[in-house]
Structure 1
């Protein structure tokens, strides 16, 4: 299932959790919405989760600031993913675009990447993915959580929790790849391909 927001706050291998919010650089026009399809709504209780682990050498130049700057550019292209659900008078949910942002989680780990990967029980990887289900207050529930954990050796864990209602696994990995490209080309604009 993955751990919830309340777990991992000083327990287990991940500690010193800090939350912030990341949105698009430019707000969308007032009143802009995204209408989920019937299939999207059928997936409303499902989440896609991914964890990436990088060595200290690979992650040495990855900072919170650099990752957030790239996210700002990415969310300019897909601002509806940073919105929040609301309901029409008919009861049908919709996404208010660029409303509240994506939750960004920072933390520390007292293990090295090598120690982490040598653990025989892989359920420990759930600590790399911050997760809180959507609801019951739809207007306060982010659709995406991004977690950055710095290992003792300087390595990095990146965890993603993506509400399936905003896109399938291909959408998640496509967005993650655009984010990576935006990070490496921060001074240029993110490709307008979505």
Structure 2
């Protein structure tokens, strides 16, 4: 009988910057986009087998704490506290750092990852109504019986998007591993998108978590290549992997929802995008804050059982993205930026409140380089976004090797029952495969790639060289 996994916290402290933040940096201004960001956490877990710790001067948990402290000298806002709707008090209060023990082996968990079990590795309750309202970062180390580690981190969405998470992890890990790849954060978002000094309306979107089911699906690189070929069209001859995968998820989820509801409702998908390189002038990739825009694609109501072709959904996504780049990103820098955002939130809110609309949300960290987070003991075997359990969401991250994509999909329970049996989906995705098997396959592929296999006609034999 399998042992029930238990995670027991054993220690708690606040890690503070090793140097005091200068007085002129104490008041950190939020940007307009930060002001309007929801009070949520962005949670992730990084898994390390810890098989290469010989070069560490200290044990791994102590190493993380000792390197986090000087790292916070540069990323000083994260050691502060949210002061009001305009600013962060960079008072060096520190990052909450928890330690925990897990009563099982890392390999046992990675055989079949579970969405709810992932939450136990996080330092805070991500479903709390008070989440993301004060502290900006929480960290928890989870040490397994075998010595492996799950590093759970929650960032407040108030100044964090996918690009910020990437800069934070690359900066901390490079300092810890002494790789020499310095990450210099850029804090110019509030100059480009000035905040409103007066109180502003929070256009919170009501997100449903009742009777939902979250499951993991993995698309390997070879299947994505075939999917992209199927999704290509004259208008979009080379779809991205995110466009292809998200469109397939959207199509299959809509089919399940319409089958259960018995009606051909309007289906909408909202996708986030990094706007750092789309502003004028472009912002550095290490710019800190919520520097994201959103675009919407619509799958109109239709008659019968027909669902729009995959290539048409990709085209709708590309059209929405192009319009957002040409309009939304540029207008955000104008004097009417707040009006632009207000209207966008109003439109999304009206669609969410309609009973006859299926509203899907997609977020992606693909391309953010999160697998490069090596703290001195190697890159993570696996990393995962942690689902907040909101209905109709697709959370995408890239696989460690091979250009694949992992998707955590959250739907209503009855919709998930149909979705996970969809034959078109299963032609391209594996339902929750073992991370260990995936890692073994990637290691085997690496070995094969290192070999040069060729025929030497002069010797009439095959030569294998490393």
Q: TM-score, normalised by structure 2?
A: 0.35
The question of 1:100 aligning with 2:93 is answered yes
Distance 2:113 2:171 in 1: 33
C-alpha contact (below 8 Å) 1:56/1:153 kept by paired residues: no
The one of 48, 58, 64 equivalent to 2:61 is 64
Which residue among 176, 179, 183 is the counterpart of 2:169?
176
Unaligned regions of 5+ residues in structure 2, if any? 186-466
What does residue 35 of structure 1 align with? 29
List runs of 5+ in structure 1 lacking aligned partners.
1-10
Asked if the contact 2:5–2:103 (Cα under 8 Å) also holds between the matched residues in 1, the reply is no
State yes or no: 1:149 paired with 2:142. yes
* Counterpart for residue 77 of structure 1: 74
The residue that corresponds to 1:161 in the other structure is 154
SS in 2 for 1:57: coil
| Paired residue secondary structure (1:105) | strand
Q: 2:47 aligns with which of 49, 53, 58?
A: 53
Q: After superposition, what is the alpha-carbon deviation per residue over 1:48-91, rounded to whole angstroms, capped at 9, x for unaligned? A: 1110111141467552221112111210101011101223xxxx
**8 Å Cα contact 1:25-1:72 kept in structure 2:** yes
Instruction: Give the aligned length.
Output: 176
Length-normalised TM-score, structure 1: 0.80
How far the C-alpha of 1:46 sits from its partner, in A, is 2.4
CA distance in 1 between counterparts of 2:151 and 2:31 reads 29
Residue of structure 1 in register with 2:123 after alignment: 130
Q: Counterpart of 1:193?
A: 184
Larger Rg: 2
Q: Distance in 1 between matches of 2:14 and 2:7?
A: 20
